Copies of this chain bind each other. A is one copy, B any other.
Amino acid sequence: MKIDPDNPADLSAQIAAAIRDAIVDGTLIVDERLPSEAELSEQFEVSRPTVREALKRLAAQSLIRTQRGATGGAFVNRLSFEAAYPQQITTSTLLLSMNAVSFGTACEARYALERACAPLSADRRSADHLATMRAEIHRQGQPGLTDEAFCASDVAFHRALVDGAGNPVLSYQLAGAVEAMQPLMNMITFTARDRARIIALHTDIADAIEAQDGVATSAALTALEAETQTLAASVFASRAARS
């Protein structure tokens, strides 16, 4: 594990890359303790602050954790799906907001991915997932609900649908696509009539899931996508007209 002092890249970036590679290729295994900062600075022939910057880079990616004290140090993290979620969501959100991705494109991706989960979720959903979906539908019908709370409930509903597939890899990937849409959804004002239509489609989805009918679930998702796209188009059109 060596670094090139002539490399124009920052030493801390090089050191971080070297350690990251060691983790990815299995040279460093989960829960293994890295050498202390002082030892690393000797090994790489750099100062301790430089080593620390490298370790902070890795910590930012949840690849290591640090612990103070006598038996402390930096340890290789077991990257859990739970820990990876926030990262994935932040990145997805920024990708949408910084790259002028249209609402239509993001929405299309989201529903395409959800339809991918539909047959699996219809097949495997537990009573728990179904109950969550029904509960969120009920919440969405409550009077006095703000648009933001409505959107948050919408996200919770769809995540229950996705989690119903019982595949952590799918849940992880979908989390990014679904949650990243929330800021875009929050730009929409939902009238009572809009909400009623969405709730009706949610009910269709929940019914199809309950009946373990994957095809019907997909169809209902397609209808919901169309509804969402139409709604967004009208909102953006009226907003454009006003300005």
Contacts and interface: CB of A to CB of B under 8 A. Distances in A.
Contact of A169 (B24, B63, B101, B167): B101
Name the prevailing secondary structure of the A interface residues.
helix
A98 B56 contact: no
A120 B108 contact: yes
A119 B117 CA distance: 15
Interface string A113-126: 10111011000000
Most buried by B among A98, A109, A169, A176: A169
Given A30-B98, A95-B84, A109 B56 contact: no
Contacts of A105: 167-169
Interface stretch (A74-82, A133-141, A152-160, A202-210): A74-82
Most buried by B among A106, A110, A112, A172: A112
Interface in A44-75: 49, 52-54, 56-61, 63
Interface of A: 12-13, 16, 20, 23-24, 26, 30, 49, 52-54, 56-61, 63, 78-81, 84, 87-88, 90-99, 101, 105-106, 108-110, 112-113, 115-117, 119-120, 165, 167-170, 172-173, 176-177
Contact of A60 (B61, B106, B110, B170): B61
Contacts of A94: 23-24, 63, 79
B53 A109 contact: no
A96 to B, nearest CB: 7
A66 to B, nearest CB: 8
How many copies of the chain does the oligomer comprise?
Answer: 2
Contacts of A96: 169
B79 A95 contact: yes
Given A53-B53, A177-B173, A168 B101 contact: yes
A98 B79 contact: yes
A41 to B, nearest CB: 14
Which 9 pairs show the lowest CB-CB distances between chains A and B? Answer: A109-B169, A116-B116, A57-B60, A112-B116, A60-B60, A53-B56, A109-B170, A79-B94, A56-B56
